[in-house]
Amino acid sequence: MSIKENYEKAKKDYEKWGVDVEAALEKLKQVPISIHCWQGDDVSGFETNQQELSGGIDVTGNYPGKATTPEELRSDLEKALSLIPGKHRVNLHAIYGETHGEVVERDELEPKHFENWVAWAKENQLGLDFNPTLFSHPKADDGLTLAHPDKEVRDFWIRHCIASRKIAAYFGKELGTPALTNIWIPDGYKDIPSDRLTPRKRLKDSLDEIFKEDIDEKYNVDAVESKLFGIGSEAYVVGSHEFYMGYAWKNNKLCLLDTGHYHPTEVVSNKISAMLLYSDKLALHVSRPVRWDSDHVVILDDELREIGLEIVRNDALDRVMIGLDFFDASINRVAAWTIGTRNMIKSLLYALLTPNEHLKQLQEDGNFTDRLALMEEFKTYPFGAIWDYYCDQMGVPVKEAWLDEVKSYEEAVLSKRQTKKEA
């Protein structure tokens, strides 16, 4: 049978349960995923005085073809985007500015250093998001930045975050869609601290200074991101979930939940409904932790499906800002973006094709037998036929056909970079 015939047959199965498949696909088209640029170059960035990766972050593998220039990175992103259905966003870190050989300290970054990114985003009809980079820098070598006891160091990072908000506002004005500016810091201690409160007071004061200037949310939306632990901050992280949740709610900022930043048995899907009760919006960085915050490429596992369900069943597609955050240098980087982003979109489609209202009513009625039975049966409904049709309608490869395009791109483009490097 053809893709259309398979779709029509599958559509009837879903319609028996009151699922409007065409409406589901229309909704899906409207959901942008913020795709992180740093998968393409292993979080290296393009600073003239480039530093070794630090801040509890590690990228393993040496697969050939890593992007080494802004042009190469944008080319790779374009290739990945051509294989992913929908219109999306790109998420930048401050280290991806273009200073054309000039050493520009991070607290001196300006919108002009990102003009090429904005021109490219306009050309490709993309929104841009932003992150100040508070790692891989001499002033972060001891694992402390905004919570540092040295005021001079703190002030440097405060200035950097202020500059980053202005850059993000520039994105929002130029592109007509607000940029999400997310602050994550590595601050913490390797061993048990003798004082947990004082660093948190300093962090609070630093954030207050950063957010002192109001920026119109038409252009920039602020978020803060917590973490449980990191390499070098195993015993204590200053910006814990409780710290940032309290700060965000008190100061009208978004709380950003990274799926790798919690206890191994703790899941972000279980937090979404609770957070949405008290916040108009919520931000996500979807990653895949394997035993720890290892940032593996996102797969369509139980937790990703549950995240999609929690967003959709709570009518929150316009309230949850979905971004990705993974990096794997052991596989083709364009393929990593494609796999992870397509899976995030699949999880939303899976949720949109679920008879959520019927399942909610079963729970309200105490009919837990039918609830469990149907939730399990829908796991093997012909979801794949609807996904194939959606990809076909959106003009991107169906099933694994995208992999052939990545292989061709690797042969024609990525492999040449390796040859150049060796030469």
Per-residue pLDDT reduced to its tens digit, 139-187? 999 999 999 999 999 999 999 999 999 999 999 999 999 999 999 999 9
The DSSP-derived string for 160-219 is HHHHHHHHHHHHHHHHTSPEEEEE----EESS--S-SHHHHHHHHHHHHHHT-S---TTT
What average pLDDT does the segment 80-109 reach? 95
By the 8 A CB rule, do 317 and 311 touch? yes
Whether the pLDDT of residue 61 is over 90: the answer is no
Whether the pLDDT of residue 421 is over 50: the answer is no
Residues 388 and 396: their CA atoms lie apart, in Å, by 10
Whether the pLDDT of residue 41 is over 80: the answer is yes
Under 8 Å CB-to-CB from 263, ≥6 apart: which residues?
Answer: 228
CATH number assigned to the domain comprising residue 333: 3.20.20.150
Do both 411 and 279 map to the same domain?
no
pLDDT in tens, 97-107: 999 989 999 99
Do both 366 and 341 map to the same domain?
no
Structure tokens at 257: 């939940």
Do both 216 and 326 map to the same domain?
yes
Do both 358 and 269 map to the same domain?
no
Do both 321 and 421 map to the same domain?
no
Other beta carbons within 10 angstroms of residue 414's beta carbon come to 23
pLDDT of amino acid 107:
95
What average pLDDT does the segment 221-244 reach? 94
327: DSSP letter: -
Residues 174 and 262: their CA atoms lie apart, in Å, by 36
Do both 129 and 260 map to the same domain?
yes
What average pLDDT does the structure give for the chain? 95
User: What is the span of the domain harbouring residue 25?
Assistant: 1-30+354-423
pLDDT of amino acid 53:
66
Q: Give the range among 85-94, 160-169, 230-239, 325-334 with minimum mean pLDDT.
A: 230-239
Q: What are phi and psi of 87, to 5 degrees?
A: -105, 130
pLDDT of amino acid 423:
41
**Residues 175, 180, 184, CA angle at the centre, nearest 5°?**
145
Helices 333-352 and 21-29: angle between axes, nearest 10 degrees: 140
Do both 415 and 333 map to the same domain?
no
What average pLDDT does the segment 385-397 reach? 98
Which of 325, 352, 379 is where one domain is finished? 352
Structure tokens at 321: 């800002």
Which of 352, 378, 405 is where one domain is finished? 352
pLDDT of amino acid 395:
97
pLDDT in tens, 360-389: 999 999 999 999 999 999 999 999 999 999
Residues 124 and 130: their CA atoms lie apart, in Å, by 17
Whether the pLDDT of residue 335 is over 70: the answer is yes
Do both 332 and 364 map to the same domain?
no
Residues 247 and 224: their CA atoms lie apart, in Å, by 9
What average pLDDT does the segment 319-329 reach? 96
Under 8 Å CB-to-CB from 273, ≥6 apart: which residues?
Answer: 310, 314
Under 8 Å CB-to-CB from 352, ≥6 apart: which residues?
Answer: 24, 25, 27, 28, 312
What average pLDDT does the segment 411-421 reach? 77
Helix (H) or strand (E) holding 350: helix 333-352
Q: How confident is the model at residue 52 (pLDDT cuts 50, 70, 90)?
A: confident
Q: What are phi and psi of 117, to 5 degrees?
A: -65, -40
Do both 23 and 35 map to the same domain?
no
Whether the pLDDT of residue 308 is over 70: the answer is yes
Do both 159 and 207 map to the same domain?
yes
What average pLDDT does the segment 248-263 reach? 95
Do both 303 and 368 map to the same domain?
no
Helix (H) or strand (E) holding 283: strand 282-286
Under 8 Å CB-to-CB from 84, ≥6 apart: which residues?
Answer: 35, 337, 338, 341, 342, 345, 396
What average pLDDT does the segment 231-249 reach? 94
The percent of residues in the chain predicted with pLDDT above 70, rounded, is 97
Q: How confident is the model at residue 48 (pLDDT cuts 50, 70, 90)?
A: confident
Q: What are phi and psi of 369, to 5 degrees?
A: -65, -55
pLDDT in tens, 397-409: 999 999 999 999 9
Q: Which residues are catalytic?
A: 184, 225, 227, 258, 261, 285, 293, 295, 325
Residues 267 and 240: their CA atoms lie apart, in Å, by 16
pLDDT of amino acid 54:
67
Number of domains in the chain: 2
Which of 324, 352, 380 is where one domain is finished? 352
Residues 288 and 275: their CA atoms lie apart, in Å, by 21
By the 8 A CB rule, do 405 and 83 touch? yes
The DSSP-derived string for 121-147 is HHHTT-EEEEE---SSSGGGTTS-STT
pLDDT of amino acid 202:
98
* 3-class SS of residue 351: helix
Residues 230 and 236: their CA atoms lie apart, in Å, by 9
pLDDT in tens, 9-39: 999 999 999 999 999 999 999 999 999 999 9
Give the number of C-alpha atoms closer than 13 A to the C-alpha of residue 114, restricted to the C-beta side: 33
Tell which wins on pLDDT, 359 or 56: 359
**Alpha-carbon Rg for the chain in angstroms:** 22
Q: Which amino acid is at 415?
A: S
In this prediction the pTM is 0.95
pLDDT of amino acid 381:
97
Whether the pLDDT of residue 420 is over 50: the answer is no
Q: How confident is the model at residue 75 (pLDDT cuts 50, 70, 90)?
A: very high
pLDDT of amino acid 56:
64
pLDDT of amino acid 386:
98
Do both 60 and 177 map to the same domain?
yes
